[in-house]
Chain A
């Protein structure tokens, strides 16, 4: 609990680790190194309301300067780590400075997978604040362009959210994905179809089941040619095709790198007891299956940060098995939550109903033994909470369904009535 805790990365995983270290009683220095010069900010709003709001861009802070000072968290911003020497226990920065540590926490996150179709003006990815500011300017300029047309490549969370934001700005939007239905790999093709209908209901043109062959520039337009021969003429192209962990700076460090920094079930880098990794860059070993698995979820990053903060301070550790994956997305008039791992289930049933703007539904995914493995909920936070607990407890799907129906559906109590 004495000595220097050095955190590399100032996004949610890094900042929450620093805060957890202070909450749990770390007495030595806590230093957070971030490669961007912006004060640490939160990323989820970048693909949502920050694209649509007019006026000054106000990122959501992860920590204020006041709190950092009060809790003695030293922020070194605009500083990029380029090398780790775990034998000398030092991190080297781009400007040549060397930082020594007693405990190192790697939280360098992930970068948007770059466009495979080259770099062109008005073709961009969305990951950081600067990307958001650039995209926002491009989208909000669109109403000055005749026949403006935003083409989004990739119908995962980021792509779908960008499509929704562009529609909120009343732009013409097309979305392209090689999968036959958006999020098909996460929620299955049938439920994915509900997301196709959601895009259609908001007048987005969808091109699903077809990849992009090329993107080329012609005069002031971008030509997006699809595998099926469709030619889309775009004024802005947004590429949202996933992210890759930022591990390049760790080459030659001796750490085991695969899909991120390989860690044990408590976030220790394999073979390096004084090095931990958290967030999108970390590949923790699953306690149940023994399989390493990298998860790019906000809530997961916070849980890992808390866990590592507690462990480094010698606190008793909560059962890591309790942690259930949880991710949300705001799409048009749907607040969607995905809990657990739906694709670990093979039986799918829906409580509530999908009904356009009035949708209130929970899709339950159970395995062959009837154990609930995952869920998608839409516009139903109470069911989502109930399901988070049920999935953590590996509850029976029948019993969970009954619980939702009796507790949340049958007593049609009016708002404000006690539960």
Chain B
């Protein structure tokens, strides 16, 4: 199963990923991305790729 990974050092809290894939990612109190669910179910793959493409600082990627 593909997984979503976040680089918290790159994240600047734009939040586009949370709009794109709210079941997979969120931001914490500091506004930095946190992965809620690493494994991406088939039904959420499009939204996960969307989240990756909508990050202005390329802080997310989908592996596998």
Residue positions of A touching B, CB distance < 8 A: 16, 19-20, 23-24, 42, 44, 60, 298-299, 302-303, 305-306, 315, 326, 328, 335, 380-382, 384-385, 388-389, 413, 415-417, 419
Contacts and interface: CB of A to CB of B under 8 A. Distances in A.
Contact of A415 (B16, B29, B58): B29
A19 B53 contact: yes
Interface in B18-44: 18-19, 27-31
Nearest to B55: A302
Interface residues on B, range: 20 to 34
B7 interface: no
Instruction: Specify the main secondary structure of chain A where it touches its partner.
Output: helix
A23 B14 CA distance: 23
Contact of B31 (A303, A306, A382): A382
Contacts of A417: 29
Contacts of B14: 299, 328, 381
Contacts of B58: 60
Closest 5 CB pairs of A and B: A381-B31, A381-B13, A385-B15, A23-B49, A302-B54
B29 A302 contact: no
B53 A306 contact: yes
A24 B45 CA distance: 10
A299 B16 contact: yes
Given A335-B12, A381-B14, 8 more contacts: A16-B53, A299-B14, A303-B54, A328-B14, A381-B15, A385-B15, A385-B19, A389-B19
The winner among A20, A302, A303, A385 for most chain B CB atoms within 10 A is: A385
A20 B46 CA distance: 9
A315 B56 CA distance: 25
A303 B54 CA distance: 8
Contact of A382 (B16, B29, B56): B29
A344 B53 CA distance: 30
A306 B16 contact: no
B54 A299 contact: yes
A263 B56 CA distance: 26
